[in-house]
Amino acid sequence: MISPQMEEYMEAIVRLEERGEPVTTTTLAQECQVAAPTVTEMLRHLSEHGLISYEPRREPSLTPAGRALASTVLRRHRLWERFLHDVLGLEWDKLHDHACELEHATSPELERLLARALGDHTTCPHGSAIPPEGGYTAPTRLVPLTDLHPSWTGRIVSIHDEDRQFLGAEGAEAIAPGAIVRAEEGAQPGQPLAFIVGGRRQLLPEDVASRITARVLPAEEAGEGDDAIPLSALAPGETGIIRGFSAGRGMVSRCLALGFTPGTAVEMVQNAGRGPVIVLVRDTRVALGRGEAQKVMVVRRGGTHASAR
């Protein structure tokens, strides 16, 4: 699993970000006091664990999961510094090293007790901010479109029915659950917000945007800006990759147990255009009602079958 050493690197990346310094192999090597090749090796390792997205010669960036981990480690580090300084009276120059040891052995419960014992300090003895508890970008975070940062990519999860009517036929088709969305920069207060949805620009009033929820995608998924379509739209012989569901909890849970997980290939076996469909998923034939098939969002996979259409 995640070793203390890996946690150290993650912490170092946030520290650099916090100081506004570029995150490069060189700066990281300095921060962690190791040689550059070691850093490259470690970055690849972290990337394999889904903690950062990293390509050689590019600046590594934290995935939401990585950011979560890193800010938790940083929070523990600074809480320990506070404790060692305020309670135990440890000298300044020894704080950092001891905290580095302790932070990796801290359970969530210990972290909470520590925070409570210290009162609500917001900074470490050096004056840096202690990241708030849980105040990180989580792996599966849902945000309203108004909070979607321009550097993020989101997938629309839900939209209110009244708003769907407001959007009109064309807009409602584009802004549907499963669609990929990015925010445009330079939003002005009081002006409609601009979004790129499924490759097209859409203007949305702020109140409407605030009622549309999107999931912030991890970096590795964000590259695929392709459009999701309902499973029911696949013709027999076509294959789709599952993106998500626009359905209630119960149905999602049933689908998942049957093997309909995001990223899985589904082949349409029978689809008469009306009535239920038959699909092949994980070597199993599954019948779905039309209504259910409309709630499973897939991306059509180009293949020999699809081109025959």
Residues near another protein (CB under 8 A): 1-2, 49-51, 63-66, 68-69, 72, 108-109, 112, 134, 138-142, 157, 215, 218, 244-245, 249-259, 261-264, 269-270, 272, 274-276, 278, 282-292
Distance of closest approach, residue 95 Cβ to another protein, in angstroms:
26
Q: For residues 306, 201, 178 and 230, what is the CA-based torsion angle, rounded to 10 degrees?
A: -40
122 vs 270, which CB is nearer to another protein? 270
96 vs 141, which CB is nearer to another protein? 141
Distance of closest approach, residue 131 Cβ to another protein, in angstroms:
13
Distance of closest approach, residue 92 Cβ to another protein, in angstroms:
31
Strand bridging mode 193-197 / 284-288? unpaired
94 vs 282, which CB is nearer to another protein? 282
57 vs 116, which CB is nearer to another protein? 116
CA 231 to chain centre: 24
Q: What SS3 state is found at 184?
A: coil
Tokens of 125: 């003895």
Distance of closest approach, residue 210 Cβ to another protein, in angstroms:
16
56 vs 250, which CB is nearer to another protein? 250
Quick one: which H or E segment has residue 292?
Answer: helix 290-295
Report how far residue 279's alpha carbon sits from residue 14's, in angstroms, rounded to the nearest whole number: 45
Label residue 49 exposed, middle or buried (CB < 10 Å: 0-12, 13-18, 19+): middle
**Four-residue CA torsion sign, 177, 179, 185, 188:** negative
Distance of closest approach, residue 263 Cβ to another protein, in angstroms:
6
112 vs 126, which CB is nearer to another protein? 112
Distance of closest approach, residue 183 Cβ to another protein, in angstroms:
19
Report how far residue 24's alpha carbon sits from residue 64's, in angstroms, rounded to the nearest whole number: 19
Strand bridging mode 52-53 / 213-216? unpaired
The partner residues of 215 in beta bridges, in order of sequence, read: 142, 155
Report how far residue 8's alpha carbon sits from residue 154's, in angstroms, rounded to the nearest whole number: 29
118 vs 280, which CB is nearer to another protein? 280
Token look-up 């320990």 returns 80
Distance of closest approach, residue 68 Cβ to another protein, in angstroms:
5
Strand bridging mode 154-158 / 142-144? unpaired
195 vs 260, which CB is nearer to another protein? 260
Distance of closest approach, residue 295 Cβ to another protein, in angstroms:
9
Are 230 and 295 spatial neighbours (Cβ–Cβ below 8 Å)?
A: yes
